[in-house]
Amino acid sequence: MRDSDRKVTKGLCEVDCIDGPRASEARAGLPPEVESRKVADAMKVLAHPGRLRVLSALQGRELCVCDLAHVLGISFSGTSQQLKELRRLGAVDFRAEGKLAYYRIGDPFWLGLAGTVAEKLNGAPPK
């Protein structure tokens, strides 16, 4: 068999062999399933280009939904849907002023997380 055909060169084990102590230690270090689901759900909220653009547009400023829709070039209802998900996550907050709703970054952690991922993908060292 050629070396390029071997499973191990493709990142797969060629034998089924479990190292009991290592596996037990790894299992003991796993977070509870419910915690992993919460993290995955939060990441799903950020895993949408429109929501990432909303966060970027709100960085350092407050915008009403109408202005935000205009800036992003998407519909008012589409903007509202993205804001609803980000609000559920706690990434944005709003205040009402008359008939307008103004949004701002609610928790800068989420914007920072998105920025760190963008920097990593663009090859820049994290701040």
CA separation for the pair 83, 94 (Å, rounded): 9
Asked if residue 73 belongs to a domain, the reply is: yes
Instruction: Find, among 102, 77, 96, 92, the residue nearest to 45 by Cα.
Output: 92
Asked if residue 112 is part of any domain, the answer here is: yes
Whether 77 has a pLDDT exceeding 90, the answer reads yes
Asked whether residue 126 is assigned to any structural domain, the reply reads: no
**pLDDT tens, 95-124?**
999 999 999 999 999 999 999 999 999 986
Q: Take residue 23 and report the two structure tokens written for it.
A: 């596996």
Residue 85 belongs to what domain range? Answer: 32-121
| 39 inside domain | yes
What per-residue confidence (pLDDT) applies to 123?
86
Dist. CA 83–CA 51, nearest whole Å: 7
Find the radius of gyration of the CA atoms of the chain: 22
34 vs 68: CA distance, rounded Å: 34
Averaged pLDDT, 83-104: 96
Task: Give the 3-state secondary structure of residue 97.
Answer: strand
**What is the DSSP secondary structure assignment for residue 47, as one 8-state letter?**
S
The domain tally of the chain equals 1
Residue 63 covered by a domain: yes
**Residue 127: pLDDT over 70:** no
> Is residue 117 a part of any domain in this protein?
yes
Whether residue 24 lies inside any domain: the answer is no
CATH number of the domain that 42 lies in?
A: 1.10.10.10
Residue 5 in any domain: the answer is no
For 20-41, write each residue's pLDDT tens digit: 899 999 999 999 999 999 999 9
pLDDT tens for 50-69 read 999 999 999 999 999 999 99
pLDDT at position 73 is 96
